Amino acid sequence: MSFSLSAPASVMSPLPEGTATHCPYCALQCGMHVTQTDLNQAEITPRDDVPANQGGLCQKGWTAGALLRSPHRLTTPLIHGKPAGWDEALGYAASRIARIQDAHGPDAVAVFGGGGLTNEKAYQLGKFARVALRTSQIDYNGRFCMSSAAAATNRAFGLDRGLPFPITDLGDAGAVLLAGGNVAETMPPFVRHLNPAGLIVVDPRETPTARLAALHLQNAPGTDLALALALLHIAIADGHVAEEYVAARTTGFDAVRDSVSAWWPERAERVTGVPVAAMRQAVAMLAEAGNAVVLTGRGAEQHAKGTDTVTAYINLALTLGLPGRPGSGYGCVTGQGNGQGGREHGQKADQLPGYRKIDDPAARAHVAAVWGVDPADLPGPGRSAYELLDALGTPEGPKGLLLFGSNPVVSSPRSGHIAGRLAALDLLVVADLVLSDTAELATVVLPTAQWAEEAGTMTNLEGRVLLRRRAVAPPSGVRSDLEILSGLAERLGRGGSFPADPRTVFDELRRASAGGPADYSGITYEKIADQGGVFWPCPADDHPGTPRIFLDRFPTPDGRARMVVVDHRPPVEDVDADYPYYLTTGRLLAHYQSGAQTRRVADLTEAAPEPFLELHPDLADHLGIRPGDMVRVTGRRGVTEATARISAAIRADTVFLPFHWEGPNRLTNPALDPVSRMPEFKVCAVNLAVVGGGR
């Protein structure tokens, strides 16, 4: 599949410079101008003053304006599928919430958020759950995306920021190892920062990113941890340990060195399928590059051992002396638009604003003072995302759910089961801009404004806080998420505590985050505009922000990074005689996440109109599958169907489904990482059968 950073012909005509803002999709948060035309359409042109994209946009970015005036937009609240006024819809939702909580207690109503919400919305949603609802039951879809990398970096470094350096530093790296990321499709402008001659890609598929690379390590699904352990074994055995760095800046190396002695490369080759020579080449490229970076993405992280896998790659980076050295380091390629900020300010079940832990008495006291409540009234940690969804409608679980910025009917593992749990609720309130797969199940649907129709801040994968400016007015009848939360709070007797103005909310967020690991207290809208974005931590008005963290010390008690012993274990669900093939899932260039937005953009649906099953020619020949055949994919949790696409880019023991449609996640495994509570999206066992001839 090709990818483009240039404008499609249909949008090449010159436009007057419009409102400077940022793309609604991935965590690059590419800069763009939005110009409203005489025909009331929004035209997009790229900005060249934003380092992340440097004047480039992908197919999704170029077409981002199409949904703003789409006929698919919701403009009227719905109650049981019928149009209603705003007063009626908010009053109905609030009265049902109050009735459920009166009967079953505060935790009987839950909140589920999203990694695409602005910082202001994420903050206000967490505050709304804990102050207006007084429920502990809040989590968000970022638990399905970055949580394993976050858990591992917190454990190793004492702080989680996707890239602890500006993305432009990648251009100074002689070698970059990217484990489980396909940036050429998921965030194409990222490729501008990579040197293909020094790029190493770990992926079971020969993705467009892997085809750019100098070296592709094509491992079996679920074996990223074994590969990382073997790479570290080779680095130590071949004399590539940065001895002075390890002694001065880390702890735990001796135990890690002893543990990886069991992962000699020949053993790892049998487990992973990656040749020993390729492993040695990868280590030599990293060790001899001068500057090098190790990056992980969802392919390595979305496993029941994802935290340990990221830890193993961090151990490799630390052994080579990379983190904290300019032009080198470890980083996580954060996926969702505000995946970083979304997990910093209170959507996550165990966190308060500023990346504080909700069970820390000092953190509770600080945030409670900002909110004007008694710390004792704040609830404790709640269920993680999948555990929360799985508990919905059960005798011991929530009876009502408020959902913002997520579509779990498509995006959750074991999604057919989760659709059943949502249907079992007494009340489901969904705020969305279109009638998503999940909104179709809702009791109340509240139409929301889009990215270009409201202001707010986003924190991109670098930890750079950016300002999204309002460029166009929303359609009549649409309200922002902040206005919705304000209206619900007023009807629940909490009026005045939940302003709808994003700048007012951000100023409160600054106070709540002050002194925390993710300190935004010195960031203002004006400073963001003046500097083109501000890196956190930024603890004072006169502080410029912190583009590079870890330069002098790590934010751990002793200032050293912690190397942690981890060991490989097979996938929770391995192949067997009944389900003999690995299934892995991923994204396509034309679509984003659950596809609720991109599947409603004509140019994108034309580029990728339906899901497909990618399989190797040898496997296709063995099963008698031809290109275009309809294939039934059966797993232990469900069944889906897709047309066959035959490609030598994938291993012969593995098949691939893109997850942008309802169906693929019926099959995926909800087994959870014990630390991050990340489900094992990236590997499960399936069987295949032809159900229809090619078209």
Terminal Cα-to-Cα distance of the chain (whole angstroms): 21
pLDDT at 5 over 90: no
Residue 73 has what DSSP assignment? B
Confidence (pLDDT) at 661 = 94
Mean pLDDT to the nearest integer, 497-506: 97
Tens of pLDDT, residues 264-303: 999 999 999 999 999 999 999 999 999 999 999 999 999 9
H or E segment to which residue 475 belongs: none
CA 450-455-457 angle, 5° bins: 105
Residue type, 127: K
Query: Is 296 or 10 the better-scoring residue by pLDDT?
Result: 296
**Helix, strand, or coil (residue 286):** helix
Region of 138 (left: φ > 0; alpha: ψ -120 to 50; beta: rest) is beta
Contact 304, 671 (CB under 8 A): yes
Kindly state the tokens that stand for 231.
Answer: 């790479």
Confidence grade of residue 119 (pLDDT, cut at 50, 70, 90) = very high
Strands 654-658 and 215-217: unpaired
Confidence grade of residue 692 (pLDDT, cut at 50, 70, 90) = confident
Tens of pLDDT, residues 618-667: 999 999 999 999 999 999 999 999 999 999 999 999 999 999 999 999 99
Q: Which domains does the chain have, with CATH numbers?
A: 78-144+340-518 (3.40.50.740), 147-337 (3.40.228.10), 581-692 (2.40.40.20)
From CA 89, how far away is CA 479, in angstroms rounded?
A: 12
Confidence (pLDDT) at 6 = 37
Task: Report the interhelical angle of 481-491 vs 119-127 (nearest 10°).
Answer: 20
**Helix, strand, or coil (residue 692):** strand
Confidence (pLDDT) at 1 = 31
For the ranges 27-41, 166-180, 570-584, 590-604, the lowest mean pLDDT is seen at 27-41
Confidence (pLDDT) at 694 = 60
Strands 400-404 and 109-113: parallel
Contact 251, 563 (CB under 8 A): yes
pLDDT at 3 over 70: no
Spatial CA neighbour of 354 closest among 501, 538, 112, 130: 538
